[in-house]
Amino acid sequence: MERQIYFLITLLFLPHLLFQTTHSYDLDQVKSWCNKTPYPRPCEYFLSNSPSHAHIKDKSHFLTISTQLALDQAMSAKSNMYLLESQCRNELEKAAWTDCLHLYQQTIQKLNQTMNPNTKCTQYDTQTWLSTALTNLDTCQTGFVELGVHDYFLPLISNDVSMLISNTLALNKAPYKQTGYKHGFPTWVKPRDRKLLLSPSPASQANVVVAQDGSGNYKTIGDAINAAPKSGPYVIYVKTGTYKENLDIKQNFITILGDGIGNTKITGSKSVGGGSTTFKSATVAADGDGFIARGISFINTAGVQKHQAVALRSSSDKSVFYSCSFEGYQDTLYAYSDRQFYKECYIYGTVDFIFGNAAVVFQDCNIYARKPLDNENTITAQGRTDPNQNTGISIQNCVVAAASDLEPVQSSIKTYLGRPWKAYSRTVFMETNLGSLIDPAGWVEWNGNFALNTLYYGEYKNTGAGSSTSGRVNWEGYHVINSSTVASAFTVGNFIDGNSWLPATNVPFQSGL
């Protein structure tokens, strides 16, 4: 169903109503092309009132026009968002509004990236960036809901931008063509980064060193990041210690190397229970593309009673995490958007502790469910909102087990592989050892029948006491995968185009099954 537009602040949205021009695209052409999209109404409305009167040549031209249309409306919505600051009645509304302002800017950035003629990108790149743009707008609205201030504020910011982006996703969608792997990594990982990740002496590779005892260039990681150049790779070596910092890494190509899991620790304690949105609760937020971490523990210490509390949020395209740990309870690891790869990592949590809407692969990781506040754990909550988004969670060659605090009471706690956070949630467990903690049903509902027919959940050649599929849910969207061809679609090589970027990071990876 198309989303309703609310014009409750007349002065803010009046330009949309009054915008009329003497020239526009041919109306018959507009109707014909817009009817090929999931949301023809906003497409027709805005193109009919466009100042252009050019002829729509073909599908490629129409995609360009549609993307520009989404960009124009996103920029208009962001301008309106600035004006809404005066409507914030309390700190919770202000917190969610602040997220929205940032997320609209990120949406504009992704749309500009797809439109920039100087950007060398594939159709897969474009689909990734459009998927992120749509995720940003959904997250904007989610912040108001989780802080309980949506009834007043959400109608003031609703618009057609999400539907226009969904149209571009449908138009751009194309069959995926697999690229190769090199030295166990997708080819998007550069040779320099590969060597860096596998280096036995990270300090020798670093541009700067962080040490709490003053033996480095900086005493805090934040100071080291603030000193990073605007472009080019920048490597930070962080010595053993517990660094109580909340980091928001906006620069591209930042690498942070630590002394190993449990040695170099970054901790924070923000949470929804403490008044933050989930998005802003992250101890570390990696926004700049090409972020790499090795040998770091990312920890949120808010505790089980503070509900959503993120240890790491990554919206970094082509980000890599090698031999890291992520420790929290609810919403520990926010694989927010774009392409991500996790290798030989440890992940701890209770409810939805691997979640988000990235295209993400976890390989050779250990996933530990902890003792929850209630009697139920859910490992994943994938957030795909559109059937054409190329996003999802793929867990391959991993181990799923009970953490030490869950083991004594495991029999009284139900632990599930996941639940559908959004309508087109997509998660696959492949060749993974599932411990006895996994409930025979495997998966659990989010809310009644929501998304059970539109989600995609799959299991392929898993082992362990919790791997039997005989008692699994019988939802239309659940699949026992028996075909290696189907399963290979969720491997590093196919699912995150890993062969094109991972080899450069020097992180070992398995391209296929």
Is 340's pLDDT higher than 80?
A: yes
| Nearest CA among 244, 85, 220, 201 for reference residue 153 | 85
Q: Which range, of 6-15, 37-46, 296-305, averages the lowest pLDDT?
A: 6-15
> What are the residue numbers of the active site?
352
Considering only residues 500 and 205, tell me which one the structure prediction assigns the higher pLDDT: 205
- Listing DSSP states for 268-331 in one string gives E---TTTT--TGGG-SEEE-STT-EEES-EEEE-S-GGG----SEEE--TTEEEES-EEE-STT
Contact in structure between 210 and 216 (CB atoms under 8 Å): yes
pLDDT at 150 over 60: yes
The model's confidence at residue 208, banded by pLDDT at 50, 70 and 90, is very high
Q: What is the CATH number of domain 199-349?
A: 2.160.20.10
Q: Which two tokens stand for residue 346?
A: 């440890």
Residue 387, Cβ density class (10 Å: 0-12 exposed, 13-18 middle, ≥19 buried): middle
To 5 degrees, how large is the angle CA 260–CA 393–CA 472? 115
Has residue 510 got a pLDDT over 90? no
- Strand runs (DSSP E) across 318-425, as ranges? 319-322, 325-327, 333-335, 339-343, 346-349, 351-356, 359-363, 366-369, 376-382, 392-396, 399-402, 414-418
When comparing pLDDT for 322 and 495, which is higher?
A: 322
Residue 430 CA from chain centroid, whole number: 20
Going by DSSP bridges, is the β-strand pair 254-257/478-480 parallel, antiparallel, or unpaired?
Answer: unpaired
In this structure, of 123-137, 167-181, 386-400, 408-422, the range with the lowest mean pLDDT score is: 167-181
* CATH of 356-512 among 2.170.120.20, 2.160.20.10, 3.40.225.10, 1.10.8.50: 2.160.20.10
d(CA 444, CA 414): 10
Residues spanned by CATH 2.160.20.10 within the chain? Answer: 199-349, 356-512
Confidence of residue 20 (pLDDT cuts 50, 70, 90): very low
First to last CA, the chain: 38
* Residue whose token pair is 């670093």: 206
27-172 sits in which CATH class?
A: mainly alpha
Instruction: Give CATH 1.20.140.40 domain extents, the chain.
Output: 27-172
Structure tokens at 178: 């697999």
As a whole number, mean pLDDT of residues 240-259 equals 97
Structure tokens at 124: 């897969």
Would you state the pLDDT for residue 185? 59
